[in-house]
Amino acid sequence: MRWNHRSVYAFMGAFILAFGLSGLAGCATETTEEAPVSQEESVADITSSLDAFAGLEGDLDIAGGTAHIPVMEALAADIMSANDAIAITVAGGGSGVGVQQIGEGLVEIGNSGRELKDDEIAKYPGLELHAWAIDGVTAIVHPDNPVQELTADQVKAIFAGEITDWSEVGGNSGAINVYAREEGSGTGETFIEKGLGNGDVSERAVIVTSNGAMKTSVAADAAAIGFMSIGGVDDSVAAVSYDNVEPTNENALNGSYVVTRKLYSVTQGTPEGLTAVFLEYLMGENGVTYIEDAGYIPTYAR
Amino acid sequence: MVRRVAEILLVITSWVSSLGVVAVVVALVAFLVYRSASVLDLQLFFGDVAWPDAVFGGARVLHGIWPAIAGTLILIAASSAVAIPLGIAAGVFISEYASGRFRATITFLVDVLAGTPSIIMGLFGFSMILLLRQTIAPDAGTGLLVAAVCLALLVLPYMIRATQNALEGLPAEMRLLGASMGMSHSQSVLRILIPAASRGILSGAVLSLGRAAEDTAVIMLTGAVATAGGRGPQSLTDKFEALPFKIFVIAAEHNTAEELSVGFASALVLLVLTASLFSLTFILQRSLERLWKA
Amino acid sequence: MYVVLGTAAAIAVAAVLGMFAFLAYFALPLFTADGFARMIDWTWRPADGSFGILPMVVGSLGLSALAMAVAFPVAVAVCAFAFGIGPRQPARIVMTIVNLMTGIPTIVYAFAAAIILPPLLRAGFEGGTGFSLLGAALVLAVLVLPTIVLVIDSNWQGLMAATRHTTAALGMNPTQHVLGVMIPASRAGLLAAFVLGFGRALGDTMVALMLSGNVPLVPESPIDSVRALTAHISLVMSLEVGGPGYQSAFAAGFILLLTTSAISIAVRNMGRRGSSGA
- Asked if residue B147 and residue B3 are part of one domain, the reply reads no
- Residue A11 pLDDT class (50, 70, 90 cuts): low
The C-alpha atoms of residue A287 and residue A231 are separated, in whole angstroms, by 16
**Other beta carbons within 10 Å of B292:** 15
* CB contact residues (below 8 A), chain B span 49-78, against chain A: 55-60, 62-63, 70, 73-74, 77
**Res B48: pLDDT:** 82
The CATH number covering residue C190 comes to 1.10.3720.10
Question: How close does chain B come to C197, measured CA to CA in Å?
Answer: 11
Which amino acid appears at position C182 of this protein?
M
- Residue B153 pLDDT class (50, 70, 90 cuts): very high
Question: How close does chain C come to A207, measured CA to CA in Å?
Answer: 6
Distances (CA, A) of A286 to A41, A220, B70: 17, 37, 32
- Residue A26 pLDDT class (50, 70, 90 cuts): very low
The C-alpha atoms of residue C54 and residue B270 are separated, in whole angstroms, by 35
Range of the domain at C107: 29-277
**Res B111: pLDDT:** 86
* Inter-residue contact B46 to B66 (CB < 8 Å): yes
- Asked if residue B222 and residue B141 are part of one domain, the reply reads yes
Question: How close does chain B come to A96, measured CA to CA in Å?
Answer: 14
List CB contacts (< 8 A) between C131 and chain A.
206
The C-alpha atoms of residue A298 and residue A130 are separated, in whole angstroms, by 12
- Residue C237 forms part of a structural domain: yes
- Residue A13 pLDDT class (50, 70, 90 cuts): low
Q: What is the pLDDT of residues A84-114, one digit of tens each?
A: 889 999 998 889 899 999 999 999 999 999 9
- Residue C136 forms part of a structural domain: yes
Write out residues in chain C with pLDDT < 50, as ranges: 274-278
- Residue C9 forms part of a structural domain: no
| C14 shares contact with chain B (CB less than 8 Å) | no
**Res A28: pLDDT:** 39
Does the beta-carbon distance from B60 to A81 stay under 8 Å? yes
Helix (H, G, I), strand (E, B) or coil at A236: coil
**Other beta carbons within 10 Å of C47:** 11
Closest partner residue to B232 (CB to CB) among A9, A23, A208 is A23
Provide the angle, in degrees to the nearest 10, between the axes of the packed helices C187-202 and C133-169.
160
Neighbours of chain C (3+ CB pairs under 8 A): A, B
Range of the domain at B35: 1-39
Longest dimension (CA), chain B: 75
| A183 shares contact with chain C (CB less than 8 Å) | yes
- Asked if residue B275 and residue B189 are part of one domain, the reply reads yes
**Other beta carbons within 10 Å of A76:** 23
Does the beta-carbon distance from A123 to C242 stay under 8 Å? yes
Distances (CA, A) of B124 to B130, B153, C168: 10, 11, 55
Could you give all domains of chain A from N- to C-terminal order, each with its CATH number? 17-134+261-301 (3.40.190.10), 136-254 (3.40.190.10)
- Residue C181 forms part of a structural domain: yes
Distances (CA, A) of C62 to C118, C132, C141, C214: 19, 11, 12, 13
- Asked if residue B158 and residue B99 are part of one domain, the reply reads yes
For residue C194, which of C57, C76, C60, C63 has the smallest C-alpha distance? Answer: C76
The C-alpha atoms of residue C58 and residue B75 are separated, in whole angstroms, by 35
In the predicted model, what is the mean pLDDT of residues B7-23? Answer: 93
Residue of B nearest to A208 (CA): B252
Closest partner residue to B123 (CB to CB) among C1, C78, C253 is C253
Question: How close does chain A come to B229, measured CA to CA in Å?
Answer: 5
Q: What is the pLDDT of residues C84-121, one digit of tens each?
A: 888 999 999 999 999 889 889 999 999 999 989 988 89
For residue B229, which of A30, C9, C55 has the smallest C-alpha distance? Answer: A30
Does the beta-carbon distance from A26 to B77 stay under 8 Å? no
pTM above 0.90, yes or no: no
- Asked if residue B63 and residue B3 are part of one domain, the reply reads no
Contacts of A45 (CB under 8 A, 6+ apart): none
Residues constituting chain B: 294
**Other beta carbons within 10 Å of C275:** 12
More confident residue, B284 or A191: A191
Residue A182 exposed, middle or buried by CB count within 10 Å (0-12, 13-18, 19+): buried
Long-range contact pairs involving A122-125 (C-beta distance under 8 Å, separation at least 24)? A123/C240, A123/C241, A123/C242, A124/A99
Contacts of C85 (CB under 8 A, 6+ apart): B10, B11, B14, B15, C174, C175, C178
- Asked if residue B265 and residue B206 are part of one domain, the reply reads yes
Contacts of C122 (CB under 8 A, 6+ apart): A221, A223, C128, C129, C130
Q: How much of chain A exceeds pLDDT 70, in percent?
A: 84
- Asked if residue B53 and residue B9 are part of one domain, the reply reads no
In the predicted model, what is the mean pLDDT of residues B47-67? Answer: 85
Strand partners, A133: A263, A298
- Tally the domains of chain B: 2
- Tally the domains of chain C: 1
- Asked if residue B79 and residue B5 are part of one domain, the reply reads no
Interface predicted TM-score (ipTM) of this complex, two decimals: 0.88
**Other beta carbons within 10 Å of B105:** 12
- Residue C78 forms part of a structural domain: yes
What HEC string does B173-242 produce?
A: HHHHHHHHCCCCHHHHHHHHHHHHCHHHHHHHHHHHHHHHHHCCHHHHHCCECCEECCCCCCCCCCCECC
| B211 shares contact with chain A (CB less than 8 Å) | no
**Res A12: pLDDT:** 56
**Res B147: pLDDT:** 95
* CB contact residues (below 8 A), chain A span 118-147, against chain C: 119-120, 123
Does the beta-carbon distance from C12 to B87 stay under 8 Å? yes
Phi, psi of A40, rounded to the nearest 5 degrees: -70, 160
Closest partner residue to B15 (CB to CB) among C81, C114, C116 is C81
Which amino acid appears at position C119 of this protein?
P
For residue C74, which of B17, A6, B66 has the smallest C-alpha distance? Answer: B17
* Inter-residue contact C228 to C140 (CB < 8 Å): no
* Inter-residue contact A227 to A191 (CB < 8 Å): yes
* Inter-residue contact A45 to A78 (CB < 8 Å): no
| C244 shares contact with chain A (CB less than 8 Å) | no
**Res A35: pLDDT:** 39
Does the beta-carbon distance from A224 to C129 stay under 8 Å? yes
Contacts of C186 (CB under 8 A, 6+ apart): C152, C155, C156, C159, C274, C278
The C-alpha atoms of residue A108 and residue A102 are separated, in whole angstroms, by 6
Closest partner residue to A23 (CB to CB) among B63, B70, B229 is B70
| A203 shares contact with chain C (CB less than 8 Å) | yes
**Other beta carbons within 10 Å of C42:** 13
User: Would strands A86-93 and B227-228 be described as parallel, antiparallel, or unpaired?
Assistant: antiparallel
- Asked if residue B17 and residue B80 are part of one domain, the reply reads no
* CB contact residues (below 8 A), chain C span 188-217, against chain A: 213-217
Query: E strand or H helix at A61, and its extent?
Result: strand A58-64
The C-alpha atoms of residue C14 and residue A120 are separated, in whole angstroms, by 36
Contacts of C26 (CB under 8 A, 6+ apart): B127, B131, C250
Question: Which ranges constitute the DSSP H helices of chain B?
Answer: 2-36, 42-46, 51-57, 66-96, 100-115, 118-134, 144-168, 172-180, 185-188, 194-196, 198-214, 217-221, 243-253, 257-292
| B269 shares contact with chain A (CB less than 8 Å) | no
In the predicted model, what is the mean pLDDT of residues B255-274? Answer: 90
